[in-house]
Structure 1
């Protein structure tokens, strides 16, 4: 281990960790708290605080400049290094593959808003709500993003799960509709081959409701392959996300005939966050995120007023 990093395992190193947590929130060019302020806040001696600041400088986490009676100023800082020294980690969330502007915007909003907090969010992308729930239960991630409809179904099946945030309608998808391969058709009718993805709670439940009472053949297909199957004639109809750009000009789409399918569609358009009940620290962190700001950033990405990054 590098000798400088070994300095963190000393009295001054402990002070450096605590000071690092405070300096994360100080902007470059601004004055940092006085040594006496650090000492009082952290219940440390002045000499220990000065030693902690020196450790941070030696690690090149910060560059400080003393300006006499004006105080000490933070000239530069390495925020990622400060967080590493402070022992601050990140939370891993799983959400759908960002194949639409809606998902790109949501991912961007989550990342940007989390960067304002001590811990930040990293995202993994897993197709299928059921697979994301499996990842959550296996502790491969700390939280998952899914529709309200899918999350409520997951909570019914497992009372150890809970919804901790709701971003409102039209934050997961704008809507679902029925896509038809033959433009002469007006709705799903008897004899049709209808694509269904049983790994997608939203798509499968709405499809089953829309097909209720009709003599159709349900064809099990990966959600991401529905478009190609509709184009190639492998299926005649499918419930699909209306945000999908590829289908906007090439496939006919119509609203649901089923009243129950319409009722579920709004829940399917709403993004929520699902966690395990015993993860109190994660729950507190996620509920403190500014959901309105996340949605505002999402909308800017959708409107092409902001480039996505995630």
Structure 2
């Protein structure tokens, strides 16, 4: 099929395919004249390009007379093959836990049967990943549902494409203490806070509300060492890493805080102005496959591969 992209009407086919990626069944499409004006190509060239997409089974169109032409059926996988885009770029947290390793492995396995290549970057800090998404560096990012909802509430032009359910991102956050006798945050304590981590920052501030404490900003990966060296008194951390690395450090569960449950769910976030990638991700990434692979990696039934 890609040979057609190098023929005379190939460029127009790519443009139309990218436009169709933003459509869904039942949507009205532009007229040939509108495409002619928008793309700047001759009417016959646009008609030929539309014929290629229809003949290949990528789209089925239905003419409704004077009210226009509508999408009756659309195969996003076939449409994607005509877009000329060779790979999808995503970003997620550094895979320092089995859950993250399993999630990354699941993403790759889920798209393995499709023509598009998946490339993942591993970037610390949900806020950084979101910023890079909005700049167009990534097609999608993996963050927690809480972080996604906060970004949307702040008015950022993003949307949640896929949900993966509770404990797909991490099992839970806990509060670490330098003093093993402590059970909760107390006045006078110094608490580690990573402003680039939406979840860690949100939970930390919630736990410190009404307390006379000092919030000391630092990268997330320095919190454990800072507690062990008594530079800070406490900090919020991912329980998965503590257990997997068998860290000798005192911690208390905060799972009874219902507001924190959303930090355990992984979601895929996309830019609102990139509807095409949202559609193809929903086709290519099957949540049940991702979660099944994740469970197998966590259980050591299969090796991670990402």
- Please report the TM-score for the alignment, with normalisation by the length of structure 1: 0.71
Q: Are 1:210 and 1:256, in contact at CA under 8 Å, matched by a contact in 2?
A: no
SS at structure 1 position matched to 2:106 = helix
Q: Are 1:227 and 1:247, in contact at CA under 8 Å, matched by a contact in 2?
A: no
Partner residue of 1:133 out of 130, 135, 154: 130
Unmatched tracts of structure 2, length 5 or more: 11-53, 58-79
Partner residue of 1:253 out of 240, 251, 267: 251
Alignment of 1:74-85 (within 5 A): none
CA distance in 2, matches of 1:219, 1:227: 13
Hey, what does 2:292 align to over in structure 1? Answer: 296
SS at structure 2 position matched to 1:244 = helix
Over residues 142-164 of structure 1, what are the superposed CA-to-partner deviations in whole Å (9 max), with x where a residue is unaligned? 11100000011111123521101
Q: Say if 2:218 is the partner of 1:221.
A: yes
Q: Are 2:81 and 2:115, in contact at CA under 8 Å, matched by a contact in 1?
A: no
Hey, what does 2:94 align to over in structure 1? Answer: 97
SS at structure 1 position matched to 2:240 = coil
SS at structure 2 position matched to 1:164 = strand
CA distance in 2, matches of 1:198, 1:10: 51
Q: Say if 2:293 is the partner of 1:271.
A: no
User: Alignment length, in residue pairs?
Assistant: 239
Unmatched tracts of structure 1, length 5 or more: 1-5, 14-39, 44-82
CA distance in 2, matches of 1:215, 1:91: 47
* Displacement after TM superposition at 1:283 (Å): 0.7
Alignment of 1:1-310 (within 5 A): 9=6, 42=56, 87=84, 89-245=86-242, 248-256=246-254, 262-288=257-283, 289-310=285-306
Closer, same or farther: CA 167–85 of 1 in aligned 2, 3 Å: closer
Hey, what does 2:41 align to over in structure 1? Answer: none
CA distance in 2, matches of 1:247, 1:306: 19
CA distance in 1, matches of 2:118, 2:210: 45
SS at structure 1 position matched to 2:188 = coil
- Mark the structure with the bigger radius of gyration: 1
* Displacement after TM superposition at 1:264 (Å): 2.3
* Displacement after TM superposition at 1:297 (Å): 0.4
SS at structure 2 position matched to 1:250 = coil
CA distance in 2, matches of 1:183, 1:225: 19
Over residues 91-120 of structure 1, what are the superposed CA-to-partner deviations in whole Å (9 max), with x where a residue is unaligned? 100111111111111111001111122213
Over residues 12-32 of structure 1, what are the superposed CA-to-partner deviations in whole Å (9 max), with x where a residue is unaligned? x9xxxxxxxxxxxxxxxxxxx
Where has structure 1 moved over 6 Å in runs of 4 or more? 83-86
